[in-house]
Amino acid sequence: MAKAPRWVLSALLLMAASFASAQTFYTNPSYGTARSAFREVYGNVEYEVFLETSGEDAPFYINQFELVTGDGWHPDLDLYVPDVSFWNGSEEYALGTEITGDHSWRFLGAYRNGAVAPTVDDGIYNATVNILGGADSSALDNLFSFDVQIHVLQSLGISVTASPEKNPIKQGESTKLFLTVQNNMADHDFVSTTWYISSFMKDSDRLKFDEFLFQDGGWFDQHVAPGESLTKEHSRWSAEIDQPLGEYTGNVGIVGGLYYGDWHFVPASPSPSITVEAVPEPAFYQLSALALLGGFALRRTLRRRAK
């Protein structure tokens, strides 16, 4: 499954320096601190942290992640922070390991997966994550902190449909796919984070995915008010010149929730389809042209006789 690429984050990210050396931790301020989670929707809550280091920095260690929960926090929210290691974008980093040299890391500082447990009431839950470490493997200085806010509801009340601009298409042709998001919620905007595709398949054959489409900024940070809908270009698909004929069924959709930065995948339903037809043989066009010329000749003859 492919997600539409995010904008160049380095131009958007707010950098916050910490610790005595020059290493820099930061998060993406475009996303903010709020995320949504639902009992009836399987989705992810993710808080990414970025770390930039230089070879001129003093060596340091990340030794512990500390989750400090606010009043009313429910343990069944199952928000996790790294406790042994984390994936830094290129390899697994074990807590308590020395960090030296030039690095650009991107890792999950806090996350949860799946639907929220029924024991958790609707509401907003707050916490803070502290990243602790320092000059050696036993240090617990506060290197960086970020806030977490999880908004729990029963369900994400949206419907998503998709339809091709042109259908059917012939071998060698392409078509745009349009996506419509209908917000059925009464009190909350739906906010998209990005959009995704998987494939258009017929048995083991598939259409060619050409590109994500970025009409008016694409599906990044698009707000749909309660009771409203939004239709925009989604992606472009094409059939090869020798594409097997028939109907191809797609798996595409939207990613979002109540806040920009939510990662709940909602597929288009029903699944969209694109039908591929054969290109007519050249003889067909010749016969069609002859029939057209014959029709003109017959009309001229009839007109002369009428006169």
141, part of any domain: yes
CATH number at residue 207: 2.60.40.10
Q: Which residues of 101-122 are buried (b: 16+ CB within 10 A; e: fewer)?
A: eebebebbbbbbeeebeeebee
Residues 17 and 58 in one domain: yes
Residue 12: the pLDDT is: 37
Question: Cα separation of 102 and 108, whole Å?
Answer: 20
CB atoms within 10 A of CB 151: 18
Answer for the pair 134, 141: CB distance below 8 angstroms, yes or no: yes
Q: What is the CATH number of the domain that holds 33?
A: 2.60.40
- Kindly state whether residue 172 falls inside one of the protein's structural domains: yes
pTM of the model: 0.83
pLDDT at 18: 41
Map 35-99 to HEC letters.
Answer: EEEECCCCCEEEEEEEEEECCCCCCEEEEEEEEEECCCCCHHHCCECCCCEEECCCCEEECCCEE
Q: Give how many domains the chain has, as a whole number.
A: 2
Q: Return d(Cα 263, Cα 247) in angstroms, integer.
A: 30
Evaluate whether 177 touches 215 at the Cβ level (below 8 Å).
no
Instruction: Let me know if residue 304 belongs to a domain.
Output: no
Provide the domain limits for residue 93: 7-153
Q: What is the pLDDT along the chain (307 residues), one digit of tens a residue?
A: 787 755 433 333 443 334 444 699 999 989 999 999 999 988 999 999 999 999 999 999 999 999 999 999 999 999 999 999 999 999 999 999 999 999 999 999 999 999 999 999 999 999 999 999 999 999 999 999 999 999 999 999 999 999 999 999 999 999 999 999 999 999 999 999 999 999 999 999 999 999 999 999 999 999 999 999 999 999 999 999 999 999 999 999 999 999 999 999 999 999 999 999 999 876 544 555 555 555 555 455 545 555 5
Side-chain-side CA neighbours of residue 265 (13 Å): 15
Residue 306 within a domain: no
Contact 194, 252 (CB under 8 A): no
Handedness of CA 217, 213, 3, 9 (dihedral sign): negative
> Looking at the domain assignment, is residue 226 inside a domain?
yes
For 175, the 3-state DSSP assignment is strand
| Domain assignment present for 62 | yes
Assess contact for 207 and 242: CB atoms under 8 A.
Answer: no
Contact 232, 216 (CB under 8 A): yes
pLDDT at 146: 98
| Per-residue confidence (pLDDT) for residue 19, from 0 to 100 | 42
